[in-house]
Each structure stands twice: as C-alpha cells, then as structure tokens.
Amino acid sequence: MEMNKKIIIIAIVVTVILGLIAGGYFLFIKNKGKTGGIADIISGFFPTGQEKDILQNNLIPSNGENIGANLAGSGNFFQISHNPVSGAFATSAFVRYIEQSTGHIYEVDLQKKSSKRISNTTILGSFNSVWSFNGDKLVIGYLDESDYGLQVKNFSLKISDETATFTGTSTAQGIFLPTDTISIASSPSEDKIFYLEKSGDSTTGIIATFEDKKRAAIFSSVISEFNVSWPNKNNIALLTRPSAAITGFLYFIDIKTGALQKILGDIKGLTALVSPDGGQVFYSENRNNNIVTKIYDVKNKTADEFYLRTLPEKCVWSRKEKDIIFCAVPTNLPQVDYPDYWYQGLISFENDSIWKINFVSGETTELLKDTNLDIINPLFTLSEDYLIFINKKDNTLWGLKLK
C-alpha cells in the first residue's frame, strides 16, 4: 500500500514537471527572438515611419534616490547613476540619462541631488542614445534578437512637454529608423538627425527629422565604415572607423551644397573631435603603439603636438570659451595598438585626471586628480557649471561641479 502511494506521488510530480517543460517550450517558440521589451512588440505591428503612442501614464513620483555621494575627498565630484547607462543629456541644472538594462529615462536635479524616472518605456539591451539639442527627443540604439541573429535597431522617441515638467498625464510617440541605419548624429541647433543608411554596396547620408520625415540625401559613398558627428550647423563630420592597423581619414560635408572636403588623412589610429566652430580638430594617432595627441588648425592646415596624451573620446570642447577643451587624461598609457585595445576592452585606463586646456595660450589646469575612472563621452550642462561623463569600466554616470 505504501509502495503504491509512493508510485502515485512520483507519477504526479513527473506529470507536473513535463507540463512545465511543455509550457516553457511553447512560450519559447511563441516568443523566439524576443527580448521582452516593448519595442520588440511594437516592431511586429508598426513598420518604419508609422507613428504610435507607446508610452501612457508614465509619470513616476520621485523615488528619493540620493545621488550626492561625496567621492575622492571632494563634494564637487559625485556619482549620478549606480546602474550602467547608454547615454546622457544635460540642460542647465538637469541631467537625463537612459538606464542600459531597461531603457527607462531618468532626470536628475543636480542642485537637489535627486532623481525621477520620467519614462517607463522598456527597451532591453540599449547601448547608445542620440539626443536632440533641447533634450525632448532621442534615438535609442539597442540589440534585438531575431531568427537572423542579433540586429541593431534604432528607435526614435519623443518625450512630451508634460513628461518634462512632471505634470499631468504624459505620452510619448516613436518610430523605428530604417533597419540598415549604421551611424547617427543630431544637429546642435535644430530638431534634425543625420544618419548613414546602407543599401547593397552603397551608403547614403540622410538628413531628416527625428520622426524620419523631410528626408534629404546629401552624401553617397561605397564606404560605410564611418563614425558621424554634427559639430556645427554648417558641417557634418565623417571619420573612418579608427584602427591602428589602417590609415584613417576625416571629412567635412557641407550641409548646404553636399560638397565633401578632406580635413585629415593617412593617419594610423586616427580618432578626432571637431570644435564647435569647425576651426580646430583635436585628434590622436598611433605612433609605435603610443598615443600622440595633436591640435589641427583647419584654416591654416597646421598641426601642433600636445604634451598631454589622451583620446578625443575622453574630451569635450567648450561652447562658451573659444579654444578651450576639457579632457580626461590617463595616468598610465601602456604600449598597445591604440585605439583598438581600448575599444575592445583589452585594456582599461584605471585612473584618469581631468584637465582644462587652452590651445592658444598653452595654459593647462588640472581640475581633478585621480578619479579612479576610465572617462568617456564627457558633456557640459548648458551653463558649463557641471561636467558630466561615463565611466567606461562599468558605464555608470558621474559629475563634476566646475563653478
């Protein structure tokens, strides 16, 4: 009798387990290729160019998160996000950032050192964001798993005014950019984006609104491996993908005429940052597995070497003070293939310091020593009272009060 009871219990357990396995298999097949994000669901219903409300009632009360941890012995140096981010935007007193794991958007009050979540749109696997000049629109790049493997998708999102001011019921609208979009930049003065769209063996450069309307093709090439930036209203910059193994080139596209002008070329490991007026280029090259830093005068076509060695990805030009650039400078630079080893994560700069550099007078000022960070993508608040940046080691967001 006892044996029969054990057999019955075992049979029940086995049946339950088989049922769970079958249910799990069914769910896996039904959701194969989905990452779980709302963007995955939307993409199955709304093709590129169609606009739909995807964010309803997303106003989230302040969670009281304290971001004002005093670090490195200075209350002016603080951590903004303890979770990885995939990009940020700054106004005069606020910082917005995308949480990498969820795609949620947070807004941080730098004065009060508090944060609020202003969007609960879920986009898993986000790795990049391109913001409009006033921060109410953005393109989120993320990885989407499909039957064809991982694909990069770019979702353009508009945040409503209600969301920005934390009043009322907020909504947001968005669209997917073309699937073959490979590099994106936003205008510094208009609600426009420039992106490269690859089709077969040809690559086209397109200017459009964030809604992908009023499209205008201004560039065409058989080369697709470009990083794009939009330093000023007149020019778009095209930089060949940097590598120590090949020579790199930097071009300007005249937005009005579409004319292409070579600025720099035949430089191994070339990576560059164009000044806001387009008159100067801060760039680095690989020389015998070392970083060499230079400043190039576009008008006079002259380049001067600078003694502080760093990468342009660790710098930002001031828009208020001409000829001024702020850079994170590594304490130690091992001899490797730059920038490849650093891009690929094979090395990390363990302890950057932050410098203010005047390229005309040659004056340099060390603003913060020994951050213990590998700083990338620095940006200013509009008043340039704060410098905001990402720690490449873990993609957390940090800030430094300058004034």
Q: Which of 68-77, 105-114, 323-332, 355-364 has the highest mean pLDDT?
A: 323-332
What is the pLDDT, as a whole number, of residue 399? 96
Q: Are 124 and 153 in contact (CB under 8 A)?
A: no
Instruction: At 128, list the tokens.
Output: 């990049």
Q: Which residue has the tokens 């080139």?
A: 249
Q: pLDDT at residue 194 above 90?
A: yes
Percentage of the chain beyond pLDDT 90 is 66
Q: pLDDT at residue 63 above 70?
A: no
**Per-residue pLDDT averaged across 270-290, rounded?**
97
Q: How confident is the model at residue 125 (pLDDT cuts 50, 70, 90)?
A: confident
Q: How confident is the model at residue 173 (pLDDT cuts 50, 70, 90)?
A: low
Indicate the pairing of strand 126-131 with strand 137-146.
antiparallel
Q: pLDDT at residue 29 above 90?
A: no
What is the pLDDT, as a whole number, of residue 113? 83
Q: Are 90 and 381 in contact (CB under 8 A)?
A: yes
Q: pLDDT at residue 94 above 60?
A: yes
DSSP E strands, 132-270:
137-146, 149-159, 171-176, 181-186, 192-199, 202-209, 216-221, 226-229, 235-240, 247-254, 260-268
Of 86, 79, 81, 82, which is closest to residue 37 (Cα–Cα)? 86
Q: Are 232 and 278 in contact (CB under 8 A)?
A: yes
Q: pLDDT at residue 205 above 90?
A: yes
Q: Any idea what the Cα angle at residue 176 is, between residues 53 and 105, rounded to 5°?
A: 60
- The 3-state secondary structure of 351-383 reads CEEEEEEECCCCCEEEEECCCCCCEEEEEECCC
User: Which residues, other chains included, contact 280 with Cβ-Cβ below 8 Å and sequence gap of 6+?
Assistant: 274, 295, 296, 297, 298, 323, 359
**Tens of pLDDT along 5-21?**
443 444 443 343 334 33
**Tens of pLDDT along 304-347?**
999 999 999 999 999 999 899 999 999 999 999 999 999 999 99
Q: pLDDT at residue 24 above 90?
A: no
- Among 71-85, 185-199, 206-220, 348-362, the range scoring the smallest mean pLDDT is 71-85
Q: How confident is the model at residue 160 (pLDDT cuts 50, 70, 90)?
A: low
- Among 165-179, 180-194, 247-261, 341-355, the range scoring the smallest mean pLDDT is 165-179
**Per-residue pLDDT averaged across 36-57, rounded?**
30
Which strands form 105-109's sheet, in the order they lie side by side?
A: 85-90, 94-99, 105-109, 114-119
**Tens of pLDDT along 234-251?**
999 999 999 999 999 999
What is the pLDDT, as a whole number, of residue 67? 46
What is the pLDDT, as a whole number, of residue 255? 95
Q: State in Å, rounded, how far the first CA of the chain is from the last one.
A: 84
**Per-residue pLDDT averaged across 269-298, rounded?**
97
Q: What is the pTM of this model?
A: 0.80
What is the pLDDT, as a whole number, of residue 146? 75
Q: pLDDT at residue 27 above 80?
A: no
What is the pLDDT, as a whole number, of residue 270? 98
The alpha carbon dihedral of 319, 310, 367, 129 has a sign of: positive
Q: pLDDT at residue 73 above 50?
A: no
* Mean pLDDT of the chain, nearest integer: 81
Q: pLDDT at residue 80 above 90?
A: yes
What is the pLDDT, as a whole number, of residue 75? 74
DSSP letter at 66 equals: B
**Whole-number Å distance between alpha carbons of 379 and 79:** 15
**Per-residue pLDDT averaged across 81-94, rounded?**
93
**Per-residue pLDDT averaged across 54-64, rounded?**
30
